[in-house]
Amino acid sequence: MITFILQIIAICALGFIVYMIGRVVPRVHESDIEKAKEVSMFHWLIGYLEQVDDWLLVIFEKFLRKLRVSIMKFDNIVSKRLAKFKKDQTKESITSIGQKESVQIEKNK
């Protein structure tokens, strides 16, 4: 039980740290980033990394769009099948009601 409590405390502390970092990150300005690029010895690498980041963003966006279309197609297929099952079920219930009525009429004669 004590390990469970310690794990909860550790996760809460990690969450607090992530929350604090999230609040501080928007305070960074573009001018600070440009200064850091000039000072960095890997400034030539930063340009390539930004291009790769943009490229991955485009690829991920296209993938998500195609995934959305595929999910919508799958949803359409499932909806059509459900409608077909529903129609079959109503036809069966109508025929079973008709058969019951015909049986009752024959019994009354």
Domain residue spans of the chain: 1-39
43 contacts: CB under 8 Å, gap ≥ 6: 37
The rounded distance, in Å, linking the Cα atoms of 88 and 86 is 5
Q: Per-residue confidence at 23, pLDDT binned at 50, 70, 90?
A: confident
The rounded distance, in Å, linking the Cα atoms of 24 and 45 is 25
The rounded distance, in Å, linking the Cα atoms of 21 and 28 is 11
For the chain, what is the largest distance between any 2 Cα atoms, rounded to a whole number of angstroms?
103
pLDDT for the residue numbered 42: 67
Lowest model confidence (mean pLDDT) among 7-21, 35-49, 70-84: 35-49
Nearest one of 74, 99, 94 to 86, comparing CA atoms: 94
- Would you say residue 9 has pLDDT above 80? yes
- Would you say residue 79 has pLDDT above 90? yes
- Would you say residue 31 has pLDDT above 80? no
Residue type, 67: L
Q: Per-residue confidence at 21, pLDDT binned at 50, 70, 90?
A: confident
